[in-house]
Structures are given as structure tokens and as C-alpha cells.
């Protein structure tokens, strides 16, 4: 039996829509509760979410209470910025209609809860210009579009070199490697210390860093989120090489100056993806140049979200946990 939610109101401004959503009241205080959505207005869509992803980066920091001060943060909140679903109501002029399948990078639409992310919900309200059309055939993989766009943003643009070393073989590291190969560049080396994450490479090598003797990498992309790794990576650069910080870090980063001085090292922070990254990534997926297969290792019914979040953040073999809102009761 699926989630029972009232249909969208014919009078959109007076709609009082309730939905089930993941509700994070405080650190490690997570439940699935009924929340009221803000009424949809001009330019808004109402979307029934089929799948939402759990981020092991920023969401884990909110769940654990370790997130540093960040604009718009606070509890209670609805997490999730990776959602795929179907439009059930669309304002005139949006260019969307019921039945369209879309990716939604979160939504700020809940009464009494922060929507800094806001995608882990059976139904949500969002501005039409935030979503991206996707092929319905993607299924749960449609929720991966934000991570793929994050990887693309780190690499794309003027004066940006593709990686020859990627640190971390999680989902972001795998997407960076796949995009490097899709760009026609030489296959990168990928470092991984967890045995459960070594498998799954597509055309590149995954090795333990202790077995790597190279000290001449020109472009190292860190997808580990480890704030203590900079000295190690700088020591592996060629002179004038660059370290790209592609993850999200819970504490201050520092490095010893002498090695960075001798290497003339450069550091670059990869920021959040843009709308252009999202549409470009969707085109790569649609054309078959970028494969999103094999990245989702775990799925759970939305009603089991409490355990699913713990598994996502603690199980070494869990690359990506997806919540299935269609099968929740």
C-alpha cells in the first residue's frame, strides 16, 4: 500500500497539502512525519517523489551535528537534495505538465521545518526553474544527477585540468573517473583504502595509496572529505601541480608550508554545481556518454528511513542509499 496523500487542489493558492517527509529534529533525531507543505504559487510545481538519495557528505554532517555554520541551516529540517519524481500539478507558463518526470535538487516548502535541502519527502512544492527533466526510464538512478553534476562542475571550464589522481572510490570519485574517461582523457589512478570499495572500476585502476610510488601527479582531485589529507596530496604533486578539493570538509584544513612552497602547489575548491552543469550532465547521461549504473548499492522503503540513514553513514559497503517513496506505507 502506497503513501496516501490528498491530490493537489484545484485552487492552488488555498491548497493545504500534507505529506510524509524525513524530519530531522536534531542530531541523530530522525523520523518520518506528516508535514504541511506551503501552498504552490506562480511558477511552482507539485512533484510526487519516487526516489530520494542520502548524501554521505553534507547530510551526514547535519545528522551527526558536525555541520559547521552554514547559511540557511537549523533544526528541524527536511534533508535530501537528490530527488526524482513526477509532476502532479504545474502552474501555467512553467512549461511542465502532470506526468513529466523531473530531478529535484531539494525544496524549501515545509511549514515549521527548514528546507535547506528538502528533497526527502513523498510530495514537495518547488519552483519550476529549479528542476530538470529526466527520462522516466532512469528510475532510482535519476536521483544521482546532483552528484554527477557536482563531479562535472569540478572538472569543466577554462583552465581546469582533468584528474590524473582521484582520492576516494565512493560515488563522487567514481563519477569523476567516469567523466574523465568520457572526456577522452587518459584513465586516472584512483586511491581507496577500504577493501569494500575497490571493485567497480570502469576502465581505470583502483589502488591502495601505500602501493603508489608516484610523486609527479599534475592534478589531484580529493573526493575523500578527509580534512587531514592535504600534506599527503601536496607531497604527491609535480612542481606547479594542483589539488582540487571536490568533497565537503567538516573542519578547518591546513597544510605544512615547506612542501607546498617547494612544489609551488595550487589549491582549488570546487563549489556547488550550476544549472548549466545539471543540464550538461543530463545530456551526457541521455547520450550514453556517462553511465550511472552500479552506483546505487542499497535501497530502503521510506518508512525505514531511520535505519537507512544509519546504514548509509556507517556501512563501508554502502556507496549510495536510495529511499523508495513509492513503496512506503
CATH T-level fold of 150-269? Rossmann fold (3.40.50)
pLDDT given for residue 68 in this prediction:
78
Q: How far apart are CA 237 and CA 327, in angstroms?
A: 48
211: cell is 602501493
Cis bond before residue 76 (omega within 30° of 0)? yes
Indicate the CATH number for domain 12-133+297-324.
Answer: 3.90.180.10
32: cell is 518520518
The DSSP line for 16-71 is: --EEEEEEEEETTEEEEEEEEBPPP-TTEEEEEEEEEEE-TTHHHHHHHT-PPP-T
What are residue 166's DSSP bridge partners?
A: 190, 221
pTM, entire model: 0.91
For residue 248, which of 277, 271, 274, 281 has the smallest C-alpha distance? 271
CB–CB of 5/18 below 8 Å? yes
pLDDT given for residue 4 in this prediction:
46
Q: Which residues contact 254 (CB under 8 A, 6 or more apart)?
A: 230
SS3 call for 104 = strand
Q: How far apart are CA 220 and CA 183, in angstroms?
A: 17
Q: How far apart are CA 205 and CA 47, in angstroms?
A: 40
SS3 call for 100 = coil
pLDDT given for residue 2 in this prediction:
40
- Mean pLDDT for each 10-residue chunk of the chain (329 residues)? 46 72 94 96 97 92 83 86 97 97 96 89 96 96 97 90 97 98 97 95 97 98 95 98 93 95 97 92 96 97 96 95 84
Structural domain boundaries in the chain? 12-133+297-324, 150-269
SS3 call for 128 = helix
Residue 157 Ramachandran class (φ > 0 left, ψ -120 to 50 alpha, else beta): left
| CA 104 remoteness from chain centre | 11
Amino acid at each position: 500500500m502506497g503513501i496516501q496523500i490528498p491530490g493537489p487542489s484545484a485552487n492552488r493558492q488555498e491548497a493545504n497539502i500534507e505529506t510524509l517527509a524525513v524530519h530531522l529534529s536534531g542530531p541523530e533525531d530522525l523520523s518520518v512525519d506528516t508535514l504541511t507543505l506551503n501552498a504552490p504559487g506562480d511558477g511552482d510545481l507539485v512533484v510526487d517523489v519516487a526516489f530520494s538519495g542520502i548524501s554521505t557528505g553534507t547530510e551526514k554532517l547535519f545528522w551527526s551535528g558536525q555541520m559547521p555554520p552554514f547559511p540557511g541551516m537549523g533544526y528541524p529540517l527536511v534533508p535530501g537534495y537528490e530527488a526524482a519524481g513526477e509532476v502532479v500539478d504545474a502552474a501555467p507558463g512553467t512549461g511542465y505538465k502532470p506526468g513529466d518526470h523531473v530531478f529535484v535538487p531539494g525544496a524549501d516548502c515545509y511549514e515549521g521545518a527548514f528546507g535547506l535541502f528538502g528533497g526527502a519527502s513523498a510530495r514537495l512544492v518547488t519552483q519550476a526553474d529549479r528542476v530538470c527533466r529526466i527520462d522516466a526510464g532512469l528510475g532510482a538512478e535519476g536521483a544521482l544527477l546532483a552528484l554527477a553534476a557536482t563531479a562535472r562542475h569540478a572538472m569543466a571550464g577554462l583552465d581546469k585540468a582533468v584528474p590524473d589522481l582521484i582520492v576516494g572510490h565512493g560515488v563522487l570519485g567514481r563519477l569523476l573517473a567516469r567523466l574523465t574517461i568520457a572526456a577522452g582523457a587518459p584513465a586516472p589512478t584512483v586511491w581507496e583504502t577500504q577493501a569494500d570499495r575497490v571493485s567497480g572500476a570502469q576502465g581505470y585502476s583502483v589502488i591502495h595509496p601505500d602501493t603508489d610510488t608516484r610523486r609527479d601527479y599534475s592534478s589531484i582531485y580529493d573526493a575523500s572529505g578527509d580534512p587531514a589529507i592535504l600534506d599527503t596530496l601536496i607531497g604527491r604533486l609535480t612542481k606547479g601541480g594542483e589539488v582540487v578539493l571536490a568533497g565537503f570538509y567538516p573542519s578547518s584544513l591546513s597544510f605544512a608550508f615547506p612542501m607546498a612552497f617547494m612544489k609551488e602547489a595550487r589549491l582549488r575548491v570546487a563549489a556547488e554545481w550550476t544549472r548549466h552543469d545539471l543540464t550538461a550532465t543530463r545530456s551526457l547521461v541521455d547520450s550514453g556518454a556517462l553511465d550511472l549504473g552500479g552506483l546505487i548499492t542499497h535501497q530502503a522503503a521510506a518508512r525505514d528511513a531511520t535505519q537507512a540513514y544509519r546504514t548509509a553513514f556507517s556501512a563501508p559497503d554502502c556507496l549510495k542509499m536510495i529511499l523508495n517513496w513509492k513503496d512506503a506505507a
